[in-house]
Amino acid sequence: MQKTNSVERKSTILLYILIAYSITWLCWIPTLLASANAGTILPNINTYETLFKTGFTDSRHLLISVIFQLGVYGPLVGALAATALENGKHSLQELWRRISKWHIPLRWYGFAVVLTFLMAFIPVAVFAIAGGLSPSPITLPLLLFVLAVQLLTSGLGEEPGWRGYLLPRLQARFSAENTIWILGLIWAVWHYPLVILQTMTAMHDVSLLPAIITILTSLAGMTMSQIGISYLYVWLYNRTHSIFLMIVFHAFSNLFSLWLPTFLKNPQSATLLVALMPWLLVVILQKKLGKEQFPG
């Protein structure tokens, strides 16, 4: 019986990954290609400011933007389907309990906001010393808009899947360290079409070999960054079992990574250090708390 349950759980994990990837990639890949062909931009953390000012060019632009944005809900749909298959209504109720679990000690919200702030602030502070600061073009209404959108899209669309569904099941099978690396890698690969197509779109008149190297470098950097920040997600989740906190953490992480670099005269200069910051925080927290407590 135990072996049968293990096989069934492994099957539902694979089902979750298949659904999450399929929905997201089917929404992302065609719309990214269509957008590149039409010379339009799609709504994401880096383009909200422009869309906030210019709006959509026409109804077709609006349609592909909506489809593109729906792709972020692949992990949520996958989590609901796999959870329902495992134990039906009872499991779905338990998942919802963790999604709506907002009443946790206030210090954990503090940790979530401070950690996400530091990941973006430290690189900006370092490069501001050398390159100087400039006024940010992002206004308070836009900032609040981005936060609300990130809570309802990237946060709600991803966290019930990655941390709500997949994390507990991986932890039941693997050590804490292995869980983080497996989860981080699966999460990173989910982003690959977005990274590849956006990197290709940004390159002009680049020969094949340099283009391949650029793409592989972008994928490697993003993957290691996702694995690094997974340590922080796991640490916060294991102490609260709150998917709501994960949604908040995800939204603020995206918000600060967009907003704070805009105070630099050359925002792109901090990109690499921003990607490395999760690992710096991991090292600091492990030394401060010990490996038994972090990620725990």
pLDDT tens, residue by residue, 151-200: 999 999 999 999 999 999 999 999 999 999 999 999 999 999 999 998 88
Q: Is residue 259 part of a domain?
A: yes
Backbone φ and ψ for 182, nearest 5 degrees, come out as -65, -50
CA dist., res. 270 & res. 124, Å (int): 6
* Helix 243-259 with 140-150: angle, nearest 10 deg: 140
**pLDDT reading at 9 higher than 80:** no
CA dist., res. 88 & res. 96, Å (int): 13
What is the pLDDT at residue 4? 44
Q: Is residue 52 part of a domain?
A: yes
Q: Is residue 294 part of a domain?
A: no
Tell me if 243 sits within 8 A of 159, measured CB to CB: yes
Residue where the block lists tokens 């590849």: 196
How many domains does the chain fold into? 1
Tell me if 255 sits within 8 A of 247, measured CB to CB: no
pLDDT cut 70: percent of the chain above it: 97
How many residues make up the chain in this entry? 296
In this prediction, residues 1-8 reach a mean pLDDT of 53
What is the pLDDT at residue 6? 60
What is the pLDDT at residue 294? 86
Tell me if 149 sits within 8 A of 48, measured CB to CB: yes
Residue where the block lists tokens 């407590």: 293
**pLDDT reading at 3 higher than 70:** no
pLDDT tens for residues 135-150? 888 888 889 999 999 9
In this prediction, residues 13-41 reach a mean pLDDT of 95
Residue where the block lists tokens 């932890």: 171
Q: Is residue 296 part of a domain?
A: no
pLDDT tens for residues 191-246? 999 999 988 887 877 888 888 999 999 999 999 999 999 999 999 999 999 999 99
Q: Is residue 295 part of a domain?
A: no
Q: Is residue 271 part of a domain?
A: yes
In this prediction, residues 17-28 reach a mean pLDDT of 98
> Residue 284's domain spans which residues?
2-289
Q: Where are the alpha helices (DSSP H) in 71-155?
A: 74-99, 106-131, 140-150
pLDDT tens for residues 79-94? 999 999 988 889 999 9
What is the pLDDT at residue 8? 63
State the pLDDT confidence band at 129, using cuts at 50, 70 and 90: confident
Tell me if 15 sits within 8 A of 181, measured CB to CB: no
Sign for the pseudo-dihedral over CA of 281, 285, 291, 295: negative
Q: How far is CA 13 from CA 26, 60, 159, 191, 267, in A?
A: 20, 36, 15, 18, 39
Name the average pLDDT for the chain.
Answer: 91
**Exposed, middle or buried: residue 107 (CB in 10 Å: 0-12, 13-18, 19+)?**
exposed
